[in-house]
A and B are shown apart, each in its own frame.
Chain A
Amino acid sequence: MKAFANQNAGSASAAVSRAREAIGRGQSVSFVAGGTDLLQLMKDRVVNRPGSDLPDVLVNLKTIPGLDDVRLSGPDAFTVGGMMTLDALSRHTVIRDEYTVLAEAAESVATPQIRKAGTVAGNVCQRPWCWYYRNGFECHKAGGSVCFSVRGENQLHAIFGGGPSFIVHPSDLAPALVALDASFRIVGPDGQRFLSGADFFVLPSEDAQHENVLRDDEVLVSVELPIRPSEAGVRSAFHKVMDREAWTHALASAAVVLEMDGDVCRTARIVLGGVAPIPWRVPEAEGQLAGKRITPELARRVGEVAIAGARAMSRNAYKIPLTREVVERTVLSLAASA
């Protein structure tokens, strides 16, 4: 690997300062959490931050105290620290019981070894796994201006929201967080800000080079999960389809959160993964469930509405019926879990 300096940050604002100092010196800098993905990119000499070089400086976020757990941050929210490992997240009793979709998403990631190092923030901010980007092609994601999947090998690429880049968002946590209406807390040079999922993740049509709004000197520090009133009857699940049993990014996934009133669904949030450059909410499909009892026929209809706007590229048409199926089955499984 190219030589770089590891700098341990003692706080989020110190991390930001370190990054800005490095940028000011004309150096390339990357924040690093678990590092399992970033080190791969660096070894393969793949650009992490578009417009930047291989890092001269890694600002290590793991040394920031207080970011590796779940804590009650007020009457209305749990804060999940950005440095919490995926393993710890998937085992946390509050997450398992109250935010099941998130626990299931976390435990679907990769392998135990990766989950013991990989973090919430790292997973959400992970770069795409498109084989063009990862093989060093100078595409949008590397700071270039072309997408090689167009009229190319696009078996794993987007059926929603694509253009000019057609990557699919690689994070499993991201659809779950959006389905939970999580708030993303960012710390930067101007202090902190909170963004909804809709504002945090960015479509290629807005910015083809990045998957989220983070600038080079900003850090995703934590995510906040709203606490719903106990009578809300919330059920949630995450279902991920892969082309082997484990250790693969989603071909299609569904994160579903239902607020039930007895066996009638009051509200639904359905967010798809593996099919779009951002976690893909499907509000029309959600609307099919409002005020209804969930039956197999309704679940089927929800799936069909979810894929209504899908557009196949030349080699990924199979994702469309697959996505419909995943949505249908996840919704139905929640109806059964009364």
Chain B
Amino acid sequence: MSQEQASRPLEAMNTVGRNVPRIDAYERVTGKATYTRDVRLPGMLYARILRSPHPHARIRSIDISRAEALPGVRSVVTHETHQLIYSSGSVAGGRQYNDAAKDITTHLRYMFDNPVRYVGQPVAAVAAVDRHVAEEALQLIDIDYEELPFVIDAERALEPGAALVWPEGNLALDYQNQARPMVRRVGDVSAGLQAADRVFEDRYTTAFVQDGQMEPRSALAEWHGDKVTIHTPTQGISNCRHDNARDLGLEDHQVQIVCKYMGGGFGDKNGSYYFDLIAATLAKEADAPVLLELTRKDDWLGTHGRWHTIQDFKVGVKQDGTVTAIQMHGYSGMGPYLRRSGGISGIEVYACPNTERIIYPVHTNRMVSGNFRAPSDPQGFFAMQSMMDDIAYKLGIDPVDFAKQNMLRPTEDVRFTNYTMEECIERGAQLFDWQGRRRPEPGSDPGPVKRGAGMSFMMFRSGVGPSSAILRVDSEQRYTLFVGVTDIGPGAKTTMALIAAEELGVPLSQVEVVWGDTDRCPYSVGESGSRTTTQTGYAVVQAAIDLKEQIAESGMPTGDEVLIASATPTPSTQGRRRMCFGAHLVEVETDVRLGYVRISKYVAVHESGRILNPLPARDQIRGAALQGIGQALHEDLLYDARNGHPLTAGYYGARHLTHMDAPEIEVTFIETDDGFGPYGAKTVGEAGIILGPAAVANAIFNAIGHRMRDLPITRAKILEALS
């Protein structure tokens, strides 16, 4: 059955398209929103984790007797007391939501590992009557480590003689447990390079970026007989439940995951964490609820972030600017466990018929990499579009013209549900005054203050797929929507509610949302991968349609009756690509003698289908763009190669943007309705972060005339480049 629905005119509908304040905004501005650590259970214990101080070491012995003897300590667990696999922490091929992949994973990651493979890896945990006693108890755990050789550099890790993170070698195992790079070839890149008039080669590198969400992670576990309830800030209650059940040796229905509010997700939390397991284990041992709190440093080093990359390009072009070949060989630093794919995007926006991309996901003894908002994208787009920008200038071609000349467009074989990539660039260029702000000759302003402009453009998946929703109406015409969302910030609860209100044709005030609890909510894909609005939102539409049909057939319920509709649609675009599109244009003002960069104008144009709720959509783009600026100019996790120790964990060390660092982001949406998703809505949440580093880096080049090829582009690097 075709999933297309009739496109509706794009002015605001009854509820969709109007500014709807978040339905839980009141709770957030009054301190009433209950995040995980705000939950209090009677008899609750507090737990802390002890972590490895070594990048690679075998634990010869571990003595917990002094910790256990400390008054107030209720349980202590280690790799010796419990061997639980943390199955979502390391997966063959990084295929996260895939049980079959987990079944064959050979590089297993445990709740507590031995040997330990990164500074910060957990080795023990204590539950005690208060957090201070728990912390003091950690000091009483005696561990004898045998230090092992370690490797920090992703490229060196694949060289012969490198320290081995795994006995078989440091190239991560793919979905078939083979140590092979990820390869994608189109056409014949050697022929394409041969056919070129000029071939350009360059290397680009990008740093590791921690998600850095404001809520440090925790898990609160409580057993009721053979069932465990875990409160934890997760983006995916269903996946979190399933993963934890698997690892605890339970059935899904024996695990309840609760997350009513969470302080930021950014993509890494759609599943379980090892500290869910630790909290559950401590709670079982102590026979009491246990709140395990991660300190900010624990959270920084003990969770995950965007993989750092090394990308080597060879690009062939004709003199007229037509790209004939793109070759990229790259390394993604994944840490000791392959938790996610390690992909690097960027080539796909070009029409070039001959491309080759070979990516080595590499194991090192750094902290583990994971998903962060468009996991494969900003790092890849920075490198690819810096490379192309560079080539454009070397050929004397305006980067906007170069982009138009080489961008992917719909063809017989490449079909989209709709396509607006060029329109985004043109609208952006016009709003930004590209011709007025770009310096045809980079670095040509008389110093020391130099301005310049750069641009970047993209498309990003906004596919359709399954999810579920349940909708119920009672005799008072109150509608209750059950959806498995937790709302990491984009306002999913509100979005789902207004979709329901729109389709039902009722005011938003008549719709209540039940969320964030696996005991009450149906399956949800979880809020990552840009799927909540398009997939869960679509399920809401279908449930509402079903409910309206029931009401039409049997009338509104009376008395104690309710009508219930549930939907688990599996839509399909019939082979057409469904993408969102965008362009970012940035002007920077630099002071080359101070190495200073200030963003003086930032224009973001996005086509994300129909915008369901204008303010949150705009703020998703603005926030993501600012994160992109942080990645471009500041954020890093520095390791000392001599001892494998991270030096800059935390907000101060990583120099996150403050209010005073945040320029105004000017957002324009080009609205469309391609007949898919709820009312034509597409993803907004991840789209905004993809282009920032590329646009900022290109603007810096235009301003200072020097190509910066390593993120973050710090003052120090600019001063060194220009001296």
Contact = CB atoms under 8 A, between A and B. Distances in A.
A241 interface: yes
A135 B647 contact: yes
A244 B594 contact: no
A248 interface: yes
A317 interface: yes
A247 B720 CA distance: 24
Given A131-B647, A148-B640, A243-B634, A318 B719 contact: yes
A317 B594 contact: no
B720 A317 contact: yes
A332 to B, nearest CB: 12
A132 B639 CA distance: 11
Contacts of B135: 1
A286 interface: no
B32 interface: no
A310 B661 CA distance: 31
The CB with the most chain B CB atoms within 10 A, among A2, A245, A317, is that of: A245
B185 interface: no
B177 interface: no
Interface string B656-697: 111011000000000000000000000000000000000000
A322 B658 CA distance: 23
Contact of A131 (B297, B595, B653, B714): B653
Contacts of B297: 44
B19 to A, nearest CB: 31
B642 A152 contact: yes
Contact of B658 (A1, A152, A153, A246): A246
Given A153-B638, A243-B716, A318 B655 contact: no
Contacts of B716: 155, 243, 251, 316, 318
Given A131-B653, A243-B714, A248-B655, A318 B647 contact: no
Contacts of B717: 318
Nearest to A317: B720
Interface in A310-330: 316-318, 321-322, 325-326
Interface of A: 1-3, 44, 131-132, 135, 137, 148, 151-153, 155, 241, 243-248, 251, 316-318, 321-322, 325-326
B198 interface: no
A130 B72 CA distance: 36
Contacts of A246: 658, 660-661
Given A135-B646, A153-B647, A326-B594, 9 more contacts: A131-B647, A131-B648, A148-B640, A243-B655, A243-B715, A246-B660, A247-B658, A318-B715, A321-B723
A1 B135 CA distance: 7
B595 A2 contact: no
A155 B661 CA distance: 22
Contacts of B658: 244-247
B634 A3 contact: no
B715 A325 contact: no
Contacts of A44: 297
A81 to B, nearest CB: 28
Interface residues of B, number: 30
Contacts of B646: 135
B136 interface: yes
A318 B640 contact: no
B593 A325 contact: yes
Interface of B: 132, 135-136, 297, 593-595, 634, 638, 640, 642, 645-648, 652-653, 655-658, 660-661, 714-717, 719-720, 723
Contacts of B656: 244
24 contacts: A1-B132, A1-B135, A131-B638, A131-B653, A135-B645, A135-B646, A137-B645, A152-B640, A152-B642, A153-B647, A241-B594, A241-B715, A244-B655, A244-B656, A244-B658, A244-B661, A247-B652, A317-B720, A318-B716, A318-B723, A321-B593, A322-B594, A322-B719, A325-B594
Contacts of A244: 634, 655-658, 661
A245 B723 contact: no
A3 B71 CA distance: 14
Contacts of A322: 594-595, 715, 719
A109 to B, nearest CB: 13
A318 B595 contact: yes
Given A148-B640, A318-B719, A132 B655 contact: no
A29 to B, nearest CB: 19
A44 B135 CA distance: 11
B523 to A, nearest CB: 41
Contacts of B647: 131-132, 135, 153
Contacts of B653: 131
B132 A3 contact: yes
* 3 tightest A-B CB contacts, nearest first: A245-B660, A318-B719, A131-B647
Contacts of B720: 317-318
Nearest to B717: A318
A316 B720 CA distance: 9
A135 B638 CA distance: 12
A49 B657 CA distance: 32
Nearest to B133: A3
Nearest to B653: A131
Nearest to A328: B593
Nearest to B712: A243
The CB with the most chain B CB atoms within 10 A, among A1, A44, A131, is that of: A131
A47 B690 CA distance: 42
Contacts of B661: 244-246
The CB with the most chain A CB atoms within 10 A, among B638, B647, B653, is that of: B647
Contacts of A243: 634, 655, 714-716
A321 B660 contact: no
A136 to B, nearest CB: 8
A185 to B, nearest CB: 31
Nearest to A45: B139
Nearest to B297: A44
A141 to B, nearest CB: 15
Contacts of B640: 132, 148, 152-153
Nearest to B714: A243
A137 B719 CA distance: 30
Contacts of A325: 593-594
A293 B189 CA distance: 65
B449 to A, nearest CB: 12
Contacts of B715: 241, 243, 251, 318, 322
Contacts of A241: 594, 715
A309 B593 CA distance: 20
Nearest to B722: A321
A200 B634 CA distance: 35
A194 to B, nearest CB: 35
B298 to A, nearest CB: 12
B100 to A, nearest CB: 41
Contacts of A248: 652, 655
Contacts of A137: 645
Contacts of B638: 131, 153
The CB with the most chain B CB atoms within 10 A, among A132, A241, A243, is that of: A243
A2 B131 CA distance: 11
A2 B652 contact: no
A261 to B, nearest CB: 30
Contacts of A321: 593, 719, 723
A326 B720 CA distance: 16
B500 to A, nearest CB: 42
Contacts of B655: 243-244, 248
Nearest to B651: A247
Contacts of A3: 132, 136
A303 to B, nearest CB: 10
A245 B642 CA distance: 31
Nearest to B656: A244
A149 to B, nearest CB: 10
A245 B647 CA distance: 21
A137 B645 CA distance: 10
A3 B130 CA distance: 12
A106 to B, nearest CB: 17
B308 to A, nearest CB: 16
A247 to B, nearest CB: 6
